[in-house]
Amino acid sequence: MAALTPISRKPMSVVLPAVAIAGGFLGMFVGAGQGSVLLGILIGAALMAGLAWVYMNVLDNESVARWITILGLGGLGLLFAGVTGLIVGLLAGWFFAFFIFWLYEGRYRQKLLPYMTGQQVFWHYTFRVICGAIFVFLITPILVVLPLSFNAQDFFTFTPEMLRLDPEGYSLKHYRDFFTNNEWQRSFKNSLIIAPIATFISVSLGTLAAIGLSQSHVPGRRAIMGILISPMIVPLIISATGMFFFYSDIGRFLEGTLGMDKNFVGYVKVILAHAVLGIPFVIITVTATLVGFDQSLTRAAANMGAGPVRTFFKIQMPLILPGVISGGLFAFITSFDEVVVVLFVGSASQKTLPWQMFTGLREQISPTILAVATILVVISIALLTTVELLRRRSERLRGLSPA
């Protein structure tokens, strides 16, 4: 954005206190590391305010000032806390170099409307800081798990070696444990069996039903929609309770009367239960895609002699494919991430990955869980990217490019 407001230099009385407060905040952390928080705050505030004063009155050259700050703070960090300190120091230096001149030159007003009062400008940035804090709250738990999964110790906290970025403090042993431990491997395999089959069932049935639902004259559409969406509405614990009673009866019937294999029946029960849970997601995404589908295309195909099946696979399917795939991904993640129902319906030989994690968290807590968590985060990032790309593609196809 071009500059909205002409900017002017700000007086010392504005810049110095602000820089001093920020410096004190940084000093608090450094001071805590060295043993005295209060001293840290005072030194930090004085140092930063002093630097700002020198830059503004003596040096007056921004790029030189920037390098002095970055390298100076980096050096201090290296002196106090090794490699970690160096990194923190460099980052802090970069921030302060930016912050001092941002305030001094009045750049903070550059992109704001010219008639805003000082109070409004202050509130504008306070609001952004608050939002930033909320974003930090959202993302921190996930970010904390990632490095901890490389912990060389069996702890759930950062060891001093890890904080020093010492390679000794890091290892892949929890990952090794995950890939060699039979129990984890079996549960992982179970998840990989159950989730795709359940997804396949919910996607194939769900897509057909969504096509039926999107046609113009469906008697009782609201009631049908209500029933099909209900697995998403009913709390999982209630679905699980209901399925627990029902599927144990079914299981007894299949094993006792039809003489099926116990293990096989267990898988069938869990897969059916998960397929039902995934259906609402498929229905919602596919009907949403079909809203933008031009029905005259199917009529044109029929006009040219294509049968309903051929029309479906050649005309309709390619166009609604993004919706079907993202619905399928939702169904997959629902099954892959599901604990409550499998806990109630399945037996020990159907133990899935989330179930294993759940028992791990409740009973014998082991850091392997964090390694699994990291793998799952990576999987969800991959899925998120896919869904986002598909959504964009589908919007482009329908001519709804994002504004």
Partner 1 sequence: MTDATQSGPMLAADGTPLKKSLARSLRRRKLRALALIAPLLLFVLLSFVIPIMSMLFRSVENSIVADTLPLTVVELRNWDADSGELPDEALYAAFTKDMITAIDEKTHTRLGSRLNYEQTGMSSMFRRSGRQIKKLDPETDGPFKDKLIEIHDGWGDVETWRTIKTHAVPITNGYFLNAIDMRRTPEGAQAQPEDKQILIKLFGRTLMMSLIITASCILLAYPVSYLLATLPMRVSNLLMILVLLPFWTSLLVRTSAWKVMLQQQGVINETLVWLGLVADDARLVIINNQFGTIIAMTHILLPFMILPMYSVMQTIPDSYTRAAKSMGATNWTTFWRIYFPQSIPGIGAGSILVFILAIGYYITPEIVGGTKGVFISNRIAYHISSSLNWGLAAALGTILLAVVLLLYWCYDKIVGIDNVKLG
Residues 175-204 that bind partner 1 (CB under 8 A): 201
Interface residue with partner 1 among 46, 68, 229, 306 (CB under 8 A) is 229
Q: Which one, 58 or 223, has the nearer CB to partner 1?
A: 223
Binding status of residue 339 toward partner 1 by CB under 8 A = yes
Interface residue with partner 1 among 68, 91, 224, 397 (CB under 8 A) is 224
151: β partners: 170
Nearest CA among 193, 166, 9 for reference residue 100: 9
Q: Which one, 68 or 377, has the nearer CB to partner 1?
A: 377
x/- string (CB under 8 A) for partner 1, residues 48-77?
------------------------------
Q: Do the Cβ atoms of 83 and 164 come closer than 8 Å?
A: yes
Q: Which one, 13 or 364, has the nearer CB to partner 1?
A: 364
Q: How far is the CB of 182 from partner 1 (least distance, A)?
A: 20
Can you read off the two tokens belonging to residue 197? 């089959």
Binding status of residue 264 toward partner 1 by CB under 8 A = no
How many chain residues bind partner 1 (CB under 8 A)? 99
Q: In sequence order, what DSSP letters do the residues of 327-362 get, joined into one string?
A: HHHHHHHHHHT--HHHHHH--GGG--HHHHHHHHHH
Q: Which one, 61 or 349, has the nearer CB to partner 1?
A: 349
Binding status of residue 7 toward partner 1 by CB under 8 A = no
- Distance between CA atoms of 95 and 89, rounded to whole angstroms? 10
Q: Which one, 68 or 225, has the nearer CB to partner 1?
A: 225
Binding status of residue 26 toward partner 1 by CB under 8 A = no
Stretch that binds partner 1, among 2-10, 170-178, 299-307, 336-344 (CB under 8 A): 336-344
Helices 182-213 & 221-233 angle (0-180, nearest 10): 160
Interface residue with partner 1 among 15, 48, 162, 279 (CB under 8 A) is 279
Positions in 364-393 near partner 1 (CB under 8 A) = 365, 369-370, 373, 376-377, 380-381, 383-384, 387-388, 391
Q: How far is the CB of 331 from partner 1 (least distance, A)?
A: 11
| Dihedral pair phi/psi, residue 214, rounded to 5° | -85, -5
Local structure of 151: helix, strand or coil: strand
Binding status of residue 32 toward partner 1 by CB under 8 A = yes
Q: Which one, 279 or 319, has the nearer CB to partner 1?
A: 279
Positions in 114-173 near partner 1 (CB under 8 A) = 120, 123, 127-128, 130-131, 134-135, 137-142, 144-145, 148, 155-158
Local structure of 170: helix, strand or coil: strand
Can you read off the two tokens belonging to residue 321? 């494919």
Tell me the C-alpha to C-alpha distance, in Å, between residue 16 and each of 22, 62, 103, 391: 10, 17, 9, 48
Helices 317-336 & 182-213 angle (0-180, nearest 10): 140
Q: Which one, 242 or 318, has the nearer CB to partner 1?
A: 242
Q: Which one, 59 or 400, has the nearer CB to partner 1?
A: 400
Q: Do the Cβ atoms of 72 and 93 come closer than 8 Å?
A: yes
Binding status of residue 258 toward partner 1 by CB under 8 A = no
x/- string (CB under 8 A) for partner 1, residues 34-53?
---x----------------
Binding status of residue 397 toward partner 1 by CB under 8 A = no
Interface residue with partner 1 among 41, 162, 254, 273 (CB under 8 A) is 273
Local structure of 125: helix, strand or coil: helix
Binding status of residue 313 toward partner 1 by CB under 8 A = no
Q: Which CB contacts under 8 angstroms, 24+ apart, belong to 79-82?
A: 80/30, 80/33, 80/34, 81/33, 81/164, 82/164, 82/165
E strand or H helix at 252? helix 236-256
Helices 173-180 & 368-397 angle (0-180, nearest 10): 80
Q: How far is the CB of 277 from partner 1 (least distance, A)?
A: 8
Can you read off the two tokens belonging to residue 268? 């069938």
x/- string (CB under 8 A) for partner 1, residues 341-360?
---x---------x--xx--
* Other C-beta atoms lying within 10 Å of the C-beta of residue 322: 23
Binding status of residue 309 toward partner 1 by CB under 8 A = no
Q: 52 CB contacts (<8 Å, ≥6 apart)?
A: 15, 16, 19, 100, 104
Interface residue with partner 1 among 231, 266, 322, 328 (CB under 8 A) is 231
Type of residue found at 228: L
